[in-house]
Amino acid sequence: MGVKGLDQLNELGREVAAQINDAAKLSIKEVANRLVQALQRNAPDNSGYLQQSIAPVLPIKETDNGYVLEIEWEEYGSYQDAGVAGTKSGQSLGIELGYGRDFAYTDKMPPTNVSTIGGQSLRQYADSRGISPFAVARSIFYKGIKATKWASNTIDSPEVQSLIDELAELIVKQYDK
């Protein structure tokens, strides 16, 4: 024998939980769009390819601990953010910045004819500056690429931290509608 009205109360609880869930997802999408805009403003702008590639991964993932917001961009954006250690000098901050590994040149020089810098090849980059593409590739191979921390600094910025604070307010506003 059940408690009178318990089924209706349970159903109401499920409806409220679904509404809160929907409000949270809408709010997270809005924050994701604003985070993408902040990252695009701060990304290196050699050609614009990196900025254009920055986008939220949808749908937003829900885990037992809450929601996971993922942002993706061209792979070379991570190398510019964390840096790449050369064979003779330089360092990568990949592990420190949360990429799971440091980036390093080991036995192959960067190719001169493959798009690597903002969608252009090292050859195009070097030619535009009147220098030898092989000298540029050798320099990168030996010295590495210095970390710019463009993404890491953006994510840790007061602007983004205030977006996180606003997220809770957005969820409440969405739920109150």
pLDDT tens-digit series, residues 107-146: 999 888 766 555 567 888 888 899 999 999 999 999 999 9
pLDDT tens-digit series, residues 91-112: 999 999 999 999 999 999 988 8
3 state SS of 117: strand
pLDDT tens-digit series, residues 42-81: 988 766 788 889 999 888 788 888 778 889 998 888 999 9
Residue 66 pairs with which residues in a beta bridge?
A: 63
Residue pair 174/23 in contact by the 8 Å Cβ criterion: yes
Q: What is the pLDDT of residue 9?
A: 64
Number of residues written out for the chain: 177
Query: Are β-strands 115-117 and 84-85 bridged in parallel, bridged antiparallel, or unpaired?
Result: unpaired
Q: What is the pLDDT of residue 3?
A: 57
pTM (two decimals) = 0.76
43 secondary structure, DSSP code: S
End-to-end CA distance of the chain, in Å?
Answer: 37
Q: What is the pLDDT of residue 171?
A: 66
pLDDT tens-digit series, residues 72-83: 998 888 999 999
Cα separation values, 88 from 65, 83, 118, 130, Å:
43, 14, 25, 25
Q: What is the pLDDT of residue 139?
A: 94
pLDDT tens-digit series, residues 7-23: 766 676 677 667 767 76
